[in-house]
Amino acid sequence: MPSIKFNDLGLMDYQQAWDLQESLFSALMESKVKAETDHKEPPAGTLLFVEHPHVFTLGKSGVPENLLVNEAFLQSKGATLYKINRGGDITYHGPGQIVGYPILNLDAFKIGVREYIFRMETAVIQTLKSFDVDAGRLDGATGVWLDADIPGKSRKICAIGVRTSRGVTMHGFAFNVNTDLSFYNLINPCGFTDKGVTSLEKELGHKTEFQDVKDKLLAAFLKEFEADISA
C-alpha cells in the first residue's frame, strides 16, 4: 500500500502554496528518477489541503474573456488573478472551500491520469454521499456535479484541474463547502456559460463543520487511492 505524506496548511496565500507545490513537485520528480535508477520502489508523494484568500486562477488553455471583470475590480473585491500551468479554464478559490493539491507519483499507484482524475472525483462523490447529497459526473467535463443530466439544473460543486509531467501530478481539486458563491458571478466558471455552481452549504441549507468535511474527504481519498498516511 502506498504511503503518502499529508499536510493541512490552513489558510495560505495562493502564491505561497504554489511555490510549495513546485518545490514538492521537483523533489518528488528527483526522487522518482533516483528510485528508477536504483531499482527501488518509487515514492508516492504528498497530499496538501489548503484554503485560499479570494483568488481566481486561469489554466494554460483558459480563455481570458471568461473573467468578466477587469483586474482593478478584482482588487476592489480583495481578490487576485493568477495564470497558472494546470489544465482547464478559469476557476475561483476562497475561504470555506477545500482545495486539495495531490503531488503524487502515479507510478506508485499503478494508474494513469484519467484514472487519477476519476478517483479524485469519486472521493468527493463519496464524501458528499455521507451528507446525503447525491452527486456524479458530467459527460465531457471533469469535476463533480449535481443533477448533471438535467438541462438547466446541472451545477458543479467541485472543480478539478491538474498538471502532470512524467507521471507526477500537481494542482488538483476545489470543493465548495461553505463558499461565498457570489464570486462565481465574476467568471464563466471553467469556461461554462450554461452551468451553475453550488456548495455543500447551499445544498444542505446550512453551514457544515469544515473540519468534519475535511476529515471525511481525507478518509475517502485514502480509500479511493488505497493509500495510508506516512509518519
Which entry of 190, 197, 200, 217 is annotated as an active-site residue? 190
**Which SS3 state, helix, strand or coil, does residue 179 take?**
coil
In three-state secondary structure terms, 162 is strand
One-letter amino acid at 188 equals: N
* HEC profile of 27-86: HHHHHHHHHHHCCCCCCCEEEEEEECCCEEEECCCCCHHHECCCHHHHHHCCCEEEECCC
Distance CA 180, CA 199 (A): 9
Q: How far apart are the first and last CA of the chain?
A: 14
Whether 190 is catalytic is yes
Q: Which residues pair with 158 in a beta bridge?
A: 144, 175
Written as nine digits, the cell of 87 is 489544465
User: What span, in angstroms and rounded, lies between the C-alpha atoms of 137 and 131?
Assistant: 18
- Taking CA atoms, 61 is separated from 26, 187, 224, in Å, by 23, 15, 29
- Cα separation, 89 vs 188, in Å, equals 9
Q: Which residues are catalytic?
A: 190
